[in-house]
Amino acid sequence: MNLYSPLRMHIPDGFLSVVLAAVFWVPSLIALSLALRHTGRQFSERLVPRMGVLAAAIFAAQMLNFSVIGGTSGHLLGASLATILLGPWAAVLVMACVVGVQALFFQDGGFLALGANLFNMAVVGVAVSYTVYRTVEKLSARRPWGILVGGFAAGWASIFMGSLAVGLQLALSGVSPANLVIPAMAGIHALIGVGEGLATGGALAFLAAVQSDLLRPTISSGGGADPGRVDRQPGWWIIGLVLALALAIASPLASSDPDGLQKVAEQQGFLERTAPPALRLFPDYLFPGMDDLALATILAGILGIGLVLGVVLLGAAFQRNGRITPDEHRARPPKHTG
């Protein structure tokens, strides 16, 4: 691990053809629209802190690249953990907040390629995680080991299938032949997925030990754990924010090796296609105007945590506006007739 590593981790502009990048905005926007509708129906004031904390923790965790093999690094995605704890629709929104803030404020991923990045991480990542976890859950008959095995399998599959989606997009854009770029992406990310699976399984094991209500009921019901039960002990989300801040403080220790996509781009000779960002706010996760790169990275991480948390809370405020939440409905006295 080397001190400070300003690595981009998502598809930048220039890798995908303009037509293909524009096309992938369509399924991403459709998925976001459906997620907003379904989450709005199940809206609960108690769900909002959980979404915000998870978004903040996922943003911070994605800044920590870890070494894999052959001078390559990987980073956590977090889609599987968000799906298991929140359910698929809320997880789509959480991942969209993270990926959107990364692109718009930190130039991690291109503006035009944002639709494809949303599709790969917020749509494919969540859909695969949901499918795999539910399958393992059924096979295990909801035994305790099914949570850990399902978490690992969902985490690994979300990374692997997401990498296949990226490889296919690159091939369709003509930057590299499909028979070269897809196996290259799959091979590297099959190893990166092990880290994602271990992190997801470890997080679920920790939650099962200290806050098991977060895991009951599981996503088989279409949502995460019952937020009413979780909020009887609200200290969990404070711990989550502290963990997110700790990850941001540790971010300068990220691996300096190129991530999986960058490594493939170097090997296949299309790294030079990277287009410079149209807007430079906090590029490469660095707070501007600072000579201390480690401190600049930490401050950028803390800023990012605040931004994704703010986006989630702002979105929740719009969802709540003019809507009777399930919490308020339960609190209302029953109507009497006759």
Q: Would you list the domain boundaries of the chain?
A: 18-324
**β-bridge partners, 73:** 67, 259
Q: What is the pLDDT of residues 230-270, one digit of tens each?
A: 444 556 778 888 999 999 999 888 888 888 899 999 999 99
What mean pLDDT do residues 47-66 have?
90
What integer best gives the mean pLDDT of the chain?
85
Residue 134 has pLDDT above 90, yes or no: yes
Poorest-confidence range of 131-140, 212-221, 229-238, 325-334? 325-334
As a whole number of angstroms, the distance between CA 182 and CA 168 comes to: 6
Confidence of residue 43 (pLDDT cuts 50, 70, 90): low
**Model confidence over 285-309: pLDDT tens digits?**
889 888 899 999 999 999 999 999 9
Looking at domain 18-324, its CATH architecture is Orthogonal Bundle (1.10)
pLDDT per position as a tens digit, 16-37 = 999 999 999 999 999 999 999 8
Strand, coil or helix: 108: coil
* For range 49-55, the mean pLDDT: 90
- Rounded Cα–Cα distance for residues 135 and 26 (Å): 28
Specify burial of residue 335 (Cβ count, 10 A radius: 0-12, 13-18, 19+).
exposed
pLDDT at residue 330 tops 80: no
Comparing 328 with 94, which gets the higher pLDDT?
94
Tokens of 326: 């399930």
Query: What was the pLDDT predicted at 321?
Result: 66
Q: How far apart are CA 277 and CA 94, in angstroms?
A: 24
